[in-house]
Amino acid sequence: MGHGGARKGAGRPKGGGQYGEPTQPVRLPHSMIPSVLDYLANKGYQLPLFSSKVPAGFPSPADDHIEQHLDLNQHLIKHPAATFFVRVTGHSMVDAGIHENDILIIDRSLPALHGKIVVAAVDGQLTVKRLHQSAQGKLLLMPANPTFQPIEINDENDIHIWGVVTNVIHAV
C-alpha cells in the first residue's frame, strides 16, 4: 500500500519556486505592491556595468566578465529624501554639457559651494546657473551670456538656491 516513503530527494524540489530560493512573507503597503513586484521581476534593476577599457571578446553581457552590477537609483541618488529632478528648458548651460530636455538630478542636502551648478528660483522661475563666490564672500549666479551682470544672492532679493546639480541625464 505504501507509495513513496520517507527518502532523500522526494517531494517538490527545493528552490523550485518562482524565485529559486527560500521566501518569507513580509508585509507591504497596498499601494506599493505592484511596484515592488515589478522591482522583483526586474531583480531590483541591478544591471551589469562594463568598462569600455576592459577587453570584450565575449559578445554577450550574460557572461562572467562583468565589472559589477549597478542600480541607477542607488548609484545616482545618495539622499532620496533631499533629491529631485528638473527637466531643462532652453540652452543657457550648453557650455556645461546641459542641453534642452535633459534631466538634472538635484541634491538639496549638498552645500552650495563655489563653482557648483545649482538650481535657483529667480523672479519666480527655476533657472540653472553656475555658482560663484566673490572675494567678499558674496554668492553670485553667473549668467550664460557674459554681457549680463551676475545675480547676487542676498536677503533683499527673493532668490533661493534649491539644490546642487549632481548629474545630467541626456537622451542621445
Of residues 60-119, which lie at the interface with a second copy (CB under 8 A)? Answer: 61, 67, 70-77, 80-81, 83-90, 96-97, 99, 103, 108, 116-117, 119
- Residue 45 touching a second copy (CB under 8 A): yes
What string marks each residue from 88 to 117 as x (binds DNA by CB under 7 A) or -? ------------------------------
- Nearest-5° angle of CA 122, CA 128, CA 134? 75
Residue 30 contacts a second copy per CB under 8 A: yes
C-alpha cell at 149: 551682470
Closest CA to 88 of 80, 79, 97: 97
Q: Which of 11, 111, 115, 146 binds DNA (CB under 7 A)?
A: 11
**Rounded Cα–Cα distance for residues 43 and 69 (Å):** 11
**27 contributes a contact to a second copy by CB under 8 A:** yes
Nearer to a second copy, 133 or 162 (CB): 162
What are the φ/ψ torsions at residue 102 (nearest 5 degrees)?
-65, 155
Grid cell locating 104: 538634472
Which is closer to a second copy, CB of 88 or CB of 112?
88
Q: How far is Cα 82 from Cα 107, in angstroms, rounded to an integer?
A: 6
Please state, as a whole number, how many other Cβ atoms lie within 10 Å of the Cβ of residue 141: 19
Q: Is 16 in the site for DNA (CB under 7 A)?
A: yes
Q: Which residues are near DNA by CB under 7 A?
A: 1-7, 9-19, 21-23, 25-27
* Active centre residues (catalytic): 92, 129
